[in-house]
Amino acid sequence: MSLIKDVVTVGGWTMANRICSVLRDIAQSNFLGAGMFADVFSLAFKFSNMLRKLFAEGSFNASFLPIFSSVLKDKGKHEAQKIASQTLTWLVLVVSLITILCLIFFRYIMYGYAAGIDPASEKFEHLVNIGRICSPYIAASFLVALFTAILNTINKFALAAASQLVLNGCVIIALFLGALCFPSASYAMAWGVFLAGIIQSLMLWYDVKRNGFYVKFDMSPKKAEVKLFFKKLISGAVGAGVWQLNVLVDFVILSFLPTGAVSYFYYMDHVNQIPIGILGIAFSTALLPPLTRAIHAKDHGSAQKQMNFGLLFALIFTLPSAVLLMSLSEPLTAAMYGRGNFGPEHVAAAAPALAAFAFGLPSYMITKVFTTTFFAHKETKTPLIGGIISIVTNLLFVAALMPYMKHTGIALATSLSSWCNGIYLMLMLKKLKTVKIDPETRRECLKQLLVSTIMLTSILLMNMYISVYSVCGGFERRIMLLTIIGISLVIFCGVGNSIKIFTFLNKIKEIEKK
């Protein structure tokens, strides 16, 4: 199995999904701008999508995959299939109950989640209605997570990664085709989310069956492995999904700010999610299975190499991405969203939040790699503590920054708290006693940081002499922006190649050939 190939497979499909997500946001901003309906859909969709990412994406995969992988290896396919079937049965029962309760009490849930919106207002009514339409997507996402984890265990990544496109595709189609049939395009988009959950569940269930695993309802007494999975799921949700927990807290606080703040935060978070999605999800998905197998086989040397190469592989992409997003936040925001109902004043208000989010990109990837390492060891307590630290520090940073920086302060608080979590997990690696960051990896990380600093300096110098905003006309500005990005990437690759920051990729290939 090739780690690079699997990362490229998952990352490629995830990149396509992120691009599709940005296209969805561009269409949404063009139709809705940063007004009431844009805020309402952003809040409702983020609530459903955040719970999916919190429980059904990172936490589920990290909790279920090591257990399922161990059973498959030690007890065989029949026993692993029984574990999957029992997990499916209890998931359907639990999430069906949760969905029904959510639909009934959604108004009361919104009292807390959107505490800053007047419950008697038109905005709150639309939020409740749209949120109820989106809510069943949470239940469907658990089934998607189960089928994805099974496929990942047997090294089938493509369709599970490609299924992410369904959500954005359905929402975009609904936005254009259903806008005339509803009070606002936001209602059509909500029904697109509802439909996407059904389609994703069915296509992945079929792919699992096609690959030889028939997962069905099984009401026999729960096996110990199933009980262990559900026990780990809750604690794992905090550790693996701490970024999403912080964003959830952020949206509660954003509801107290003036109309538009939610939309600015929502749009810029999605731009920031492009590199996160390409590498964060892709790498944790592709890294967890081989890391788990190495640890299960007590091959500590291989496990340490996987983690160290994972860290280098993650940073070599997120460091230049962070530099680009921070130094070119305003022209990037203008190029992507500056049209229709999203005018120059909206661009100026949103762009600083993108720079604040981008500051946390490297820390998010560090956290992903270390959290995956702990989960591969079936150790969830440390990521749980790290998650709690991140949540607490996020609240402290929000309290300090929001009065002065509004939505930008909340975005910066999310990044700073992510750094706190990443540093804590790095310091706690010694608890595992099987893996550590070796001296060579530390040196390579410093070299990557040096090259990224040179890249940042080159962008700042280019901005001084060929500023994007010195060029008249939207098309010419976009060409100038692409030119600056292209030159800066050439500088990064050229300088990086001269000091050999890419040589670890060859080492990965050599190991995989053995």
Amino acid at 134: C
Q: How many residues does the chain have?
A: 514
Amino acid identity, position 360: G
To the question of pTM greater than 0.85 for the whole model, the response is: no
Sequential DSSP letters for 118-147? -TTSHHHHHHHHHHHHHTHHHHHHHHHHHH
- The four Cα atoms 358, 368, 7, 145 give a dihedral, to 10 degrees, of -110
Q: Which of 403, 405, 371 is nearest to 385 (CA)?
A: 371
**CA gap 390, 398 in Å, rounded:** 12
Smallest CA-to-CA distance from 83 within 62, 97, 98, 69 is with 69
**Quick one: tokens of 207?**
């792919």
How does pLDDT run along the chain (514 residues), one tens digit per residue?
A: 455 566 566 666 767 777 787 788 888 887 777 778 888 888 888 888 776 666 656 567 667 777 887 788 878 888 888 888 888 888 888 888 888 888 888 899 898 888 888 898 999 999 999 999 988 888 888 888 888 878 877 777 667 777 778 888 888 888 877 766 776 788 888 999 999 989 998 988 888 888 888 888 888 777 777 787 777 776 665 555 566 667 777 888 888 888 888 888 888 888 887 777 666 555 555 555 666 677 767 777 777 777 888 788 888 888 999 999 999 998 888 888 877 778 888 888 999 999 999 999 999 888 888 887 887 777 778 888 888 898 899 999 999 999 899 999 999 998 999 999 999 999 998 887 777 888 888 998 899 999 999 999 999 888 777 665 554 556 777 788 888 889 999 999 999 889 888 887 776 655 555 5
Domain ranges of the chain: 3-437, 438-514
Tokens 């030159």 locate to 487
